[in-house]
Structure 1
Amino acid sequence: MDGSLQTWLLTLVAVMIVGISKGGFGGGLGMLAVPIMALTMPPLLAAAILLPVLCAMDLMAMRAYWGRWSLEHVKITLPAAILGTIVGAFTFQYLNADHIRFVIGVISTGFALNSWFKPAQRWIKHKPGAKAGRFWGFTSGLTSFVSHTGGPPLSVYLLPQQLDKTTLQATTVLFFTAVNYFKLLPYALLGQLNFANLKISLLLLPIAALAIGMGVYLHKRVSDKLFYQITYLVLFITGLKLMIDGWQGF
């Protein structure tokens, strides 16, 4: 991390967005964090700095949504997600920064386009079953390990279940708390949790706590509509920028 003002500002914005999302406002838009940070630093570094912050946020969110989750859906998706995380750990070393930028860009723009035009809804006629849950759980674990973008795959399974918004948020929080804490060991073994990165993560914790509180507050009181409109636009633009940068590196 180069320590420039631009880098710090983008990092703070990323932490605020993911914290507000984990607090329950804005759905799975925490996936914006790594793409935003990757504009000024390698994606792997962004992911390493964010992981301890995410783990702290998960504990804060667990306290806010304790006991409101659907264990049925967690039992279906979580074992597959752990397997996806293990696969991600073994393939991590074969991916370079440009490949990851491009993949994150594709995921980001695709998620934004689907939110606007909803092509995926044409394929969803019924609630996804256990097989679909395991597939999307595995995909979520894999993408979560590489770039903390596991939210969209999990949402493909959970959103059609038509859970109320608090149960949906609580289920997502429980799922990613387990996944993120499981990721700590392979991240450490890969040398990503070094002192320099942990020091930056520690400095970001007060912002994380503030963002979680804001997310919980907004979850209870404010409609998501305007937030979604703005954030999906930012997500799309950021994704395009990452795709262009990644493609140029191939």
Structure 2
Amino acid sequence: MKEATMELSTSFYLVTACAVVITGISKSGFGGGLGVMSVPLMSLYITPQLAVAILMPVLLAMDLIIVWSYRHHWNRAIVAMLLPGAAVGLALGAMSFQWMSADVIRCAVGMLALFFVAQFIWGERSKHSKRPSGKATVLTLGALSGFASFVAHAGGPPVKGILLRQGMEKTVFVGTNTMFFFAMNATKTVAYSSMGHFTRDSMTVSLLLVPMLLIGITLGTVLHKFIAQSVFTRFVYGFLFLAGVKLLWDSSLAIWA
């Protein structure tokens, strides 16, 4: 295998750098939502498997920094509630990662994201925001999040739907989301490593993206402090809408091609 850093185009680095900055802003300031765009964008230039491998160290580094910032502001009970389902999804993702196309799961996650946006528009979130989701729902969405996260780093929308229903203050929302995905990403890192997906080439590209990671996290942290709770909620749903449309568009093109 030739050096990835010698083969990749300037366009790839520009698109990937922008994706990392947007992901950093989204994760550190608004509880995620736009990170699902990174793998599809990078996959325009490289294989999805390589895209996932390059992003994994970047996402884990983001989580480590953000976890420290929000270490006192997260809901342990909700994270504990989500982890069993996520573990099931991660296991299924690990078993199918080598051969299963991610397009069908991207389509499902995209539809789910738009469903939650529709709920918000029609006022359903206000009605149910503080009512706990059923155990079966939490297990199912947690598993979908774990599976989509493993195969495409696209596990955000299912979990956002559950978190948004809890009516949490924005700082606790971001902290809870961060802690959950830190646990998932740490597990994925071990799994990817054992499966041989990290190479010298992928790690070199990951290292080159570190400055973009820091820029994104800094911008997200600053924006989080100055945006009101109501505006923040609209931002999160806006991110969900954009992510859902992107996932549906990419998956439908691939499925019907």
Output the TM-score relative to the length of structure 1.
Answer: 0.85
Q: 2:87 corresponds to which residue?
A: 82
What amino acid is aligned across from residue 84 of structure 1 in structure 2?
A: G
Query: Which region of structure 1 is more displaced relative to structure 2, 136-145 or 21-30?
Result: 21-30
User: Is the alpha carbon distance of 1:140 and 1:39 closer, same or farther for their aligned partners in structure 2, counting shifts above 3 Å?
Assistant: same
1:108 corresponds, among 94, 110, 119, to 110
Partners of 1:243 and 1:230 lie apart in 2 by 20
Of residues 24, 28, 38, the one that matches 2:29 is: 24
Match 2:245 to one of 233, 236, 241? 236
Secondary structure at 2:102's aligned position in 1?
helix
Distance 1:63 1:37, change over 3 A: same
| Counterpart mapping for 1:3-14 below 5 A | 3-14=8-19
Give me the whole-angstrom Cα distance separating, in 1, the residues matched to 2:20 and 2:196. 22
1:39 corresponding residue in structure 2: 44
Q: 1:219 to 1:118 in 2, by over 3 A?
A: same
Aligned pair count reads: 245
After the TM superposition, which residues 120-159 of structure 1 pair with which residues of structure 2 at under 5 Å, given as runs?
125=128, 126-159=131-164
Counterpart of 2:179 (choices 166, 174, 177) is 174
Deviations 1:191-239 (A, max 9, x none): 2111111111111111101111111111111344578658844762564
Q: Select which of 240, 245, 249 maps to 2:254.
A: 245
Q: Distance in 2 between matches of 1:103 and 1:52?
A: 23
Gaps of 5+ in 2: none
Residue aligning to 2:73: 68
Task: Tell me how far apart the structure 2 counterparts of residues 82 and 120 of structure 1 sit (CA, whole Å).
Answer: 32
Aligned-residue identity in percent: 34
Secondary structure, counterpart of 1:67 in structure 2: coil
Task: State the 1:132 CA deviation.
Answer: 2.6
Change (3 A) 1:84 1:109: closer
- Per-residue CA deviation, residues 156-175 of structure 1 (Å, 9 max, x unaligned), is 22111111111111001001
Displacement of 1:246 in angstroms is 4.2
| Contact 2:112/2:157, CA 8 A, preserved across alignment | no
Unpaired segments of 5 or more residues in structure 1?
Answer: none
Which piece of structure 1 moves more, 223-232 or 82-91? 223-232
Distance 1:5-1:101 versus aligned 2 partners, 3 A rule: farther
Cα-Cα RMSD: 2.8
Instruction: Compare 11-20 and 236-245 and name the one that shifted more.
Output: 236-245
Letter in 2 for 1:58: D
Distance across 1 between alignment mates of 2:187 and 2:199: 17
C-alpha deviation, 1:135, in angstroms: 2.4
Offset, 1:33 = 1.5
**1:110 positional shift:** 5.3
Counterpart Cα distance in 2 of 1:64 and 1:191: 32
